[in-house]
Amino acid sequence: MLTRVKSAVANFMGGIMAGSSGSEHGGGGCGGSDLPLRFPYGRPEFLGLSQDEVECSADHIARPILILKETRRLPWATGYAEVINAGKSTHNEDQASCEVLTVKKKAGAITSTPNRNSAKRRSSLPNGEGLQLKENSESEGVSCHYWSLFDGHAGSGAAVVASRLLQHHVTEQLQDIVEILKNSAVLPPTCLGEEPDHTPANSRTLTRAASLRGGVGAPGSPSTPPTRFFTEKKIPHECLVIGALESAFKEMDLQIERERSSYSISGGCTALIVICLLGKLYVANAGDSRAIIIRNGEIIPMSSEFTPETERQRLQYLAFMQPHLLGNEFTHLEFPRRVQRKELGKKMLYRDFNMTGWAYKTIEDDDLKFPLIYGEGKKARVMATIGVTRGLGDHDLKVHDSNIYIKPFLSSAPEVRVYDLSRYEHGADDVLILATDGLWDVLSNEEVAEAITQFLPNCDPDDPHRYTLAAQDLVMRARGVLKDRGWRISNDRLGSGDDISVYVIPLIHGNKLS
């Protein structure tokens, strides 16, 4: 037990040792080093880098900032910039992708394979020109803009796979509901194939009252309609899109699980995606990346971070209900610090899954076990191993020097937030910022908003590079300048040594969608 605890502490102090040369081609568990990579490592396709440029970008000393060579490679004149870490992993474990997808329900099939060639061909059009989100008369489908960021850990394999495939799972899930979405005047049917129900809502509530009075339409009477619930929830169209995104994340995670026996898919990754569909932005986040909208100087958060601290109660409840997952090495209870043997029998502050506050309990032998959640802030870890609680992959992740799997505590379910573009008239300086935690670890929402509101007004509104330059400015502010004491940012604070990836997406294009 003592050895195991020492190992856990050592792992906690160092976090996951990610990105070693071996982890990229192996990954442990089912993914042996003799297995081929699912996809080769590279930088985002839209950057248009040669192999030599990819290798030069991996300079952990100079840390060059990569930006778009051609703004026309991304729709809406979206800006993008990235920089590699200061040496924590061989590769840049962030990944990104952006496409314009065509969602079309194929005749005679509930689901079908996304038209990958069509998506890639359309995404190369300048600024997504002509691809406003409206019905496509040629394909009788709808066009959908897609942006994504993935932050890998313990290797870049899962992030690379997700950057190549998640958009196709999104498309496949949307294919089931595209015809329903196009008919926005009618609520989605409860069962597919049913005729749209135009019955007023108040008439449904009277049915039960009538049945209680024994009147016409009561159960068992000759005029009784087919059996159905007395009341029925009204499900808006955007809830179908949210469900499609949630299902796409689940299917992506299951695919990684299946394929890790055939391919080397190292580690796991967080996932932050945005789709623009029928005039609304859907932001889906699983992990600790972040999205914010800056509109007329106002900050509108579009995501939440999922960490051991923010999901403490969910994790503790799971451990309480299924204590075997703790491997007899951990306790699900939280204490302000590690409990020592000399404190047996004493009363100490603790917190359980049902508590947001604290109380005192008498310390017992089981309380001497290592806490399920340990540390604060960015140093908080689940089972002294991982600092994020939602994402994709990590199917083979175990507690150091043990056979205790951590995946049961991790979730692939994203939180999805919706922003209706048609409700606002956006200006040229109103933007959606997507970034991995390398940016947010050192810059607050307010600092990012201040940087954007200072930078964009000084750029030519007609300059297509203005948003890429804004993304570059944010990355530079977070990376800082290399000095004798490491990378430093404003006020001589420590800069980010992590991989940093940033999108700056102008919302003025949303004005054209309504």
The helix-helix angle for 116-123 and 157-175 (nearest 10°) equals 100
Kindly state whether residue 422 falls inside one of the protein's structural domains.
Answer: yes
Q: Indicate the range of 11-20, 204-213, 221-230 predicted with least confidence.
A: 11-20
Q: What is 246-300 written as a DSSP string?
A: HHHHHHHHHHHHHHTTTSB--SEEEEEEEEEETTEEEEEEESS-EEEEEETTEEE
On the question of pLDDT at 12 being above 80, the answer is no
Among 282, 275, 80, 44, residue whose Cα is nearest residue 168: 275
The 10 Å Cβ neighbour count of residue 301 is 12
pLDDT, position 270: 98
Q: Indicate the range of 49-58, 99-108, 225-234 predicted with least confidence.
A: 225-234
Q: Across 74-140, where does the E strand assignment appear?
A: 79-83, 94-103, 135-136
Question: How many domains would you assign to the chain?
Answer: 2
Residue 511: pLDDT band by 50, 70, 90 thresholds?
confident
d(CA 103, CA 113): 10
487: which 2 tokens?
Answer: 């990378």
Kindly state whether residue 113 falls inside one of the protein's structural domains.
Answer: no
Mean per-residue pLDDT for 254-282? 96
Kindly state whether residue 57 falls inside one of the protein's structural domains.
Answer: yes
Among 99, 193, 176, 64, residue whose Cα is nearest residue 479: 64
CA dihedral 221, 227, 233, 236 (to 10 degrees): -120
Kindly state whether residue 402 falls inside one of the protein's structural domains.
Answer: no
Residue 63 shares a structural domain with residue 155: yes
pLDDT tens string 320-372: 999 999 999 999 999 999 999 999 999 999 999 999 999 999 999 999 999 99
Residue 156 shares a structural domain with residue 254: yes
Kindly state whether residue 485 falls inside one of the protein's structural domains.
Answer: yes
Residue 159 shares a structural domain with residue 268: yes
Residue 294: pLDDT band by 50, 70, 90 thresholds?
very high
CATH code at position 494: 3.60.40.10
pLDDT, position 105: 80
Provide the 8-state DSSP code for 411: B
pLDDT, position 461: 86
pLDDT tens string 404-444: 999 999 999 999 999 999 999 999 999 999 999 999 999 99
Residue 504 shares a structural domain with residue 468: yes
On the question of pLDDT at 130 being above 60, the answer is no
On the question of pLDDT at 129 being above 50, the answer is no
Question: Is 502:82 a contact under the CB 8 Å cutoff?
Answer: yes
On the question of pLDDT at 228 being above 80, the answer is no
Residue 175 shares a structural domain with residue 322: no
**Considering the entire predicted model, what is its pTM?**
0.85
On the question of pLDDT at 275 being above 50, the answer is yes
pLDDT, position 71: 81
pLDDT tens string 452-478: 999 999 999 889 899 999 999 999 999
Q: 64 lies in which domain range?
A: 38-104+142-183+235-305+412-512
Amino acid (1-letter code) at residue 78: T
Bridge partner list, 411: 390
Kindly state whether residue 4 falls inside one of the protein's structural domains.
Answer: no
Among 79, 80, 130, residue whose Cα is nearest residue 100: 130
Q: What is the mean pLDDT of the chain?
A: 85
d(CA 365, CA 350): 15
Question: Is 439:448 a contact under the CB 8 Å cutoff?
Answer: yes
Count how many residues are written for the chain.
514
pLDDT, position 232: 82
Residue 352 shares a structural domain with residue 451: no
Give the whole-number percent of the chain exceeding pLDDT 90.
71
Kindly state whether residue 325 falls inside one of the protein's structural domains.
Answer: yes
pLDDT, position 305: 96
pLDDT, position 231: 81
Provide the 8-state DSSP code for 162: H
Residue 78 shares a structural domain with residue 146: yes
Question: Is 427:296 a contact under the CB 8 Å cutoff?
Answer: yes
Residue 283 shares a structural domain with residue 149: yes
pLDDT, position 218: 54
Residue 375 shares a structural domain with residue 496: no
Residue 425 shares a structural domain with residue 482: yes
Amino acid (1-letter code) at residue 88: K
pLDDT, position 225: 59
Residue 417 shares a structural domain with residue 451: yes
Residue 169 shares a structural domain with residue 58: yes
pLDDT, position 200: 47
pLDDT, position 112: 35
Kindly state whether residue 399 falls inside one of the protein's structural domains.
Answer: no
Residue 293: pLDDT band by 50, 70, 90 thresholds?
very high
Give the whole-number percent of the chain exceeding pLDDT 70.
79
pLDDT, position 194: 74
